[in-house]
């Protein structure tokens, strides 16, 4: 018999509880419990869901609640803007798909529409930019094709090595040679090998009358899980979790898990993460009771991860200082077995090279780029622009994040 556990929501604000209940109602199709909305400040619920980038998702059930007309209209207006932005991005994505088709370059959309298509209403899933994958051997050709067709580099020097960011008509495009979340370790290398050549197997899909390519089920699921891995460092929020939830609801039955996903995730160090995130979706966010393959996940890890999600928000918008600290001190999964001192130093060095304008102009300063952040920090302390207490809070946040990653055995 599966253990039933009591999920204590009392340490969340009433607005956070209401946000979770609204999402659970949408994804489960069940009426939410009225007690979860007693005394709630609906304007704060909207604010919370905006921070988590999921505010448009429950719009079709909001007329069941006693919202003031002005607030309901504000919520509706936000949703209309979200849908309009999504349609604009889907149109641009369709044009890009046609361009690549004409030039015989295989590509597949990552996240975005490839995640939204599993939602009860795909157009309510907020799409930020267009992330898409091409095979490594096609990367340079794809880049040249875009440059020759009116797409421009968004940044003089891109900030990561796994994609290049371009823009056209205010739409941002991330041309990937590999998905985000892969790092320098043996398990990531296994995943690279598994994903190799899969753009050639991409499935043609349609959303809002627009065509796009999506990776086959297993590989699309891997990308969505890797997206969670990536945001464990810079702010895991409800949007990334809902992407996984919607995918699991639609595709990842117990049979598919056992035969298709579990063997791959077990040998690449992502099985425990998948189980914990999925059980979290089941307990908090309305994932189908038919999904039982996650029921063995540690309940304390589930609760701790949910706390982490609610504390940080989409891209860490609820706890931005702590998220920046995670980036400064270094990312556990990128440093592998290297010690904390090396990780700390490399975090400072990367930040200095990115933020210090003089360093960009004068390459000779690269060797001391690591000093930029400590010097800037000391000056802020002296001038009163920052507080020592904030520093201790950031250190605790980094410690907690590392603890969660360790418990989830990511890439182990």
Based on the structure, what is the number of domains in the chain?
2
Co-location of 222 and 99 in the same domain: yes
4 within a domain of the structure (yes/no): no
Q: Look up the CATH number of the domain holding residue 35.
A: 3.30.460.40
- Please give the Cα distance from 305 to 1 (Å, whole number): 24
6 within a domain of the structure (yes/no): no
Co-location of 92 and 173 in the same domain: yes
Tens of pLDDT, residue by residue, the chain (412 residues): 234 444 567 788 999 999 999 999 999 999 988 888 988 999 999 999 999 999 999 999 999 998 999 999 999 999 999 999 999 999 999 999 999 999 999 999 999 999 999 999 999 999 989 999 999 999 999 999 999 999 999 876 555 578 899 999 999 999 999 999 998 899 999 999 999 999 999 999 999 889 999 999 999 999 999 999 999 877 899 999 999 999 999 999 999 999 999 999 999 999 999 999 999 999 999 999 999 999 999 999 999 999 999 988 765 556 655 444 444 444 444 444 445 566 667 777 777 777 777 876 777 877 888 888 788 878 877 887 766 655 555 555 555 555 777 788 888 8
pLDDT value of position 324? 46
Co-location of 301 and 377 in the same domain: no
Co-location of 209 and 174 in the same domain: yes
Give the range of the structural domain holding residue 239, as residue numbers without chain letter. 14-316
- Please give the Cα distance from 321 to 1 (Å, whole number): 43
For 16, the 3-state DSSP assignment is helix
For 317, the 3-state DSSP assignment is coil
- Please give the Cα distance from 221 to 11 (Å, whole number): 32
Answer yes or no: are the C-beta atoms of 235 and 319 closer than 8 Å: yes
pLDDT value of position 250? 97
Tokens 């995918």 belong to 247
Co-location of 216 and 347 in the same domain: no
Check the CA dihedral 88-93-98-100 and report its sign: positive
- Please give the Cα distance from 134 to 112 (Å, whole number): 16
For 314, the 3-state DSSP assignment is helix
205 within a domain of the structure (yes/no): yes
pLDDT value of position 56? 98
pLDDT value of position 340? 55
Average pLDDT score over the chain: 86
pLDDT single digits (tens) 347-357: 777 777 777 77
Residues found in the chain:
412
Co-location of 187 and 200 in the same domain: yes
113 within a domain of the structure (yes/no): yes
pLDDT value of position 337? 44
5 within a domain of the structure (yes/no): no
- Please give the Cα distance from 284 to 277 (Å, whole number): 10
Co-location of 265 and 324 in the same domain: no
- Closest by CA to 175, choosing from 270, 107, 248, 276, is 107
Last residue in a domain, options 316, 341, 376: 316
Last residue in a domain, options 274, 298, 316: 316
Q: DSSP letters along 120-169, please? A: SSGGGS---SEEEEE-GGGHHHHHHHHHTTT-EESSSS-S-SSEEEEEET
pLDDT value of position 335? 44
Side-chain-side CA neighbours of 45 within 13 Å: the count stands at 27
Co-location of 79 and 217 in the same domain: yes
Specify the DSSP element, H or E, that contains 43. Answer: helix 42-51
Tokens 């999506």 belong to 214
- Please give the Cα distance from 117 to 214 (Å, whole number): 10
pLDDT value of position 146? 97
Answer yes or no: are the C-beta atoms of 207 and 113 closer than 8 Å: yes
**Separation of CA 193 from chain center:** 23
pLDDT value of position 407? 81
Co-location of 293 and 363 in the same domain: no
Co-location of 176 and 82 in the same domain: yes
């Amino acid at each position: 018999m599966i253990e039933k556990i009591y999920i204590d929501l009392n340490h969340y604000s009433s607005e956070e509880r209401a946000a979770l209940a609204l999402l659970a109602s949408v994804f489960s199709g069940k009426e939410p419990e009225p007690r979860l909305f007693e005394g709630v400040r609906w304007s704060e619920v909207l604010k919370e869901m905006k921070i988590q980038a999921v505010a448009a998702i429950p719009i079709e059930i909001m007329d069941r609640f006693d919202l003031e007309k002005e607030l309901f209209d504000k919520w509706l207006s936000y949703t209309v803007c979200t849908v309009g932005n999504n349609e604009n991005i889907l149109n641009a994505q369709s044009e890009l798909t046609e361009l690549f088709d004409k030039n015989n370059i295989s590509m597949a959309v990552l996240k975005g529409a490839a995640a939204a298509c599993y939602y009860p209403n795909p157009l309510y899933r907020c799409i930020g930019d267009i992330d898409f994958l091409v095979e490594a051997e096609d990367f340079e050709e794809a880049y040249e094709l875009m440059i020759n067709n009116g797409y421009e580099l968004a940044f003089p020097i891109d900030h990561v090595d796994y994609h290049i960011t371009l823009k056209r008509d205010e739409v941002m495009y991330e041309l990937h040679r590999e998905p985000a979340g892969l790092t320098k370790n043996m398990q990531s290398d296994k995943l690279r090998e598994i994903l190799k050549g899969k753009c050639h197997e991409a499935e043609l899909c349609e959303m809002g009358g627009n065509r796009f390519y999506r990776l086959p089920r297993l590989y699309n699921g891997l990308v969505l899980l890797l997206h969670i891995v990536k945001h464990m460092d810079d702010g895991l929020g409800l949007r990334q979790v809902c992407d996984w939830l919607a995918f699991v609801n639609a595709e990842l039955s117990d049979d598919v898990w056992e035969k298709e996903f579990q063997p791959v995730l077990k040998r690449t160090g992502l099985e425990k993460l998948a189980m914990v995130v999925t059980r979290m979706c089941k307990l908090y966010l309305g994932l189908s009771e038919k999904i039982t393959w996650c029921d063995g996940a540690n309940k304390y890890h589930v609760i701790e991860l949910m706390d982490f999600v609610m504390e940080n928000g989409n891209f860490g918008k609820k706890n931005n200082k702590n998220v920046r600290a995670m980036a400064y001190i270094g990312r556990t999964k990128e440093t592998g077995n290297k010690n904390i001192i090396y990780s700390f130093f490399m975090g400072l060095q990367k930040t200095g090279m990115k933020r210090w304008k003089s360093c960009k102009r004068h390459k000779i300063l690269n060797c001391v780029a690591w000093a930029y952040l400590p010097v800037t920090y000391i000056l802020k302390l002296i001038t009163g622009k920052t507080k020592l207490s904030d520093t201790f809070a950031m250190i605790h946040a980094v410690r907690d994040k590392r603890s969660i990653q360790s418990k989830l055995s990511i890439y182990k």
